[in-house]
Amino acid sequence: MKTTTTTATDKSADIYIRVSGVYDERTASLDSQERDCRELVEANGYIVGQVFVERQTGKSLHKRKELTKLRERVSNGETQCIAFYDIDRFTRGGAGHIWILIGECREKGVKLLCVKQDLSDTFETNVAITVKAEAARKELESIRERTLRGRKEKLRKGILPGQGGDMIGYRINKETWKREIHEEEAEIVRRIFEEAANGKTYRQITLDLQAEGIPSPGELLKRNYKIPKTPRWHRSAVAAIITNPAYAGTTLAQVWSKDETGKRIKNDSSKIVELADVTPAIVSKELWEKANATRQRRLSADTTRNEKNFILLRGLVYCKRCQRKMRPKQARTFWSFRCASKTDESLKEPCGAHTVSTRWLTDRVWDKIRVELRKPDSLRRMIGDLSNTGEQKERLLRDQERLEKRIEEIEGATSRLVRLVSRNDDDIVTELYEREIKLLADQRRGIEESLQQVRLSILEVEASTPHIPTLIELHNKFAWGDENWTDQQKRNELIRSGLRVYVDGREFEIRMLTGKVVATFKESDALVA
């Protein structure tokens, strides 16, 4: 069905395509998804607006960056149409999620186009969409289960559960799932260990490898980067080799996992498994230990160097204009804080905030905090802002529980209705069920939004609670006028108090973690006073 009543120029369509990397061998690649979507868009009389490419699992609704941008455009009325390849590319979150997304678009009058599925707003297609969305969610679960079962099975047999992480010096034998030495690369590995054991710094090792044109791990393993980059030796690659026990023949599995946000975290030792006879050693245990012992010595040398350039406010200073961090920067013997936007290459121009001498700022900030905390009134105000957090947290946790329970109920009701629809032949009855399914999905969207809010508030409350005793302690110390503290002690107190400095040149604010401004300073004020 072609729409030809409107001219193409006033109707633009965004395209959303997605791969998750791991699970998508069978589904269309990014290129063919995009090609098919473009054809569909044009056949319907739209011109292609923005193309959103997501490389993430479709399970979550809120954590997908590109989807979030797209939804923003829908709610701002910036797009007239959205095209995607199939329901499972759009979401694997089940009926709840698909109806949140479709509901949003229909509400805003945004046309939806899908290569593999008719999305017109009729009862038959709505049921089909619900069923397909639920199937996509179930499929994700079974993929997970299969992968997990496969991993466990391999571990039980004592072989590498995954790709084992690409490492130079080895190739994995895909039949035995054990590592085999790649002699040419092993030479590079041995050289790195020997140089480190002889006291050469990581930096020097890296520079020498580069200068001699030795191919880097990125080149040797032919890695495909998400963002194209020139593979070359980096200090981190050298460090990763020296600290990896596999090169001395110790194979550890299940060292890393991901937390709820997808961040890579190291497992505790109870989860880590050692596999015997999987990796042949390239260097001896003695050499490995010597290379790593040298590293330990260097780490402690680094600490003393940092103490020489001790900066009391390091990490506590933010830009008053753009809220980015301000970092200490040295020019000859002079240190200053400057806004991170100055060194952010992805920005066209920095925010324009002025740099400030670390010495100047440290002295003023410390004075200001001492004056402010000595006043009982301002202490009371600060504590007032932080307190009631215990009660507040209880309330938030109860809300969270209630919302989560409601979502479970909706999920249960939705799948019951989907089952009923699939068994039913009576059009009128089915339509009633179907309306009910959509209603539930609408409810779920609202609930999920509030749940996000509640979780954020819990995090904020948790961050501010421990600081009350510190503030009182600081007040008492300042009130008695007895603080012959070293800079390190001052820094420790500041960190514990949870106070932050927001600065732009010679103007600054001291804020609490809650964002509340405790004190402000302008040089002109100081001169008048």
> Which chain residues interact with Zn ion by CB under 5 A?
319, 321-322, 339, 341, 351, 353
In angstroms, give the least distance from the CB of 334 to Zn ion.
20
Look at the block and give the residue holding tokens 């939806």: 112
Q: In this structure, is the dihedral angle defined by the CA atoms of residues 234, 238, 241 and 244, taken in order, positive or negative?
A: negative
Q: How far is the CB of 447 from Zn ion (least distance, A)?
A: 37
CB of 341 to Zn ion, least distance (A): 4
Closest to Zn ion by CB, 341 vs 430, is: 341
Strands (E), 87-144: 111-114
For residues 110 and 353, which CB has a smaller minimum distance to Zn ion in the complex? 353
43-47-53-58 Cα dihedral, nearest 10 degrees: -60
* Four-CA torsion 12, 74, 125, 140, nearest 10 degrees: 110
Residue 233 or 521: the one with the smaller Cβ distance to Zn ion is 521
Helix (H) or strand (E) holding 159: none
Residue 108 or 321: the one with the smaller Cβ distance to Zn ion is: 321
**Cβ partners under 8 Å of residue 437, min gap 6:** 95, 99, 126, 130, 414, 417, 418, 421
CB of 348 to Zn ion, least distance (A): 14
Convert 434-470 to b/e letters by CB count within 10 Å (16 or more is b): bebbbebbbbbbebbeebeebeebbebbeebbebbeb
- DSSP labels for 247-263? GGT-EEES-EEE-TT--
Eight-class DSSP state of 80? S
CA distance 491 to 368: 15
Of 385, 338, 374, 344, the residue nearest 475 (C-alpha)? 374
Query: How far apart are CB 515 and Zn ion at their closest, in Å?
Result: 17
Quote the least distance from Cβ 357 to Zn ion, whole Å: 17
Which of residues 321 and 370 has its CB atom nearest to Zn ion in the complex?
321
Q: SS3 for 143? A: helix
Q: From CA 147, how far away is CA 413, in angstroms rounded?
A: 29
Nearer to Zn ion, 291 or 353 (CB): 353
- DSSP category for residue 516: -
Question: Least distance from C-beta 338 to Zn ion, angstroms?
Answer: 9
**Contact predicate 311/335, CB 8 Å:** yes
In the bound state with Zn ion, the residue whose beta carbon lies nearer, of 15 and 339, is 339
CB of 317 to Zn ion, least distance (A): 11
Q: Measured from the CB of residue 327, what is the shortest distance to Zn ion in angstroms?
A: 11
Among 226, 315, 177, smallest CA distance to 21 is for 226
Closer of 252 and 353 to Zn ion (Cβ) = 353
Q: Which is nearer to Zn ion, 196 or 339 (CB)?
A: 339
Q: Give min distance, CB of 505 to Zn ion, in A.
A: 11
Would you say 401 and 458 are in contact if contact means Cβ atoms under 8 Å apart? Answer: no
All residues at 6 or more sequence positions from 90 whose CB lies less than 8 Å from its CB, including other chains = 16, 18, 58, 84, 98, 101, 114
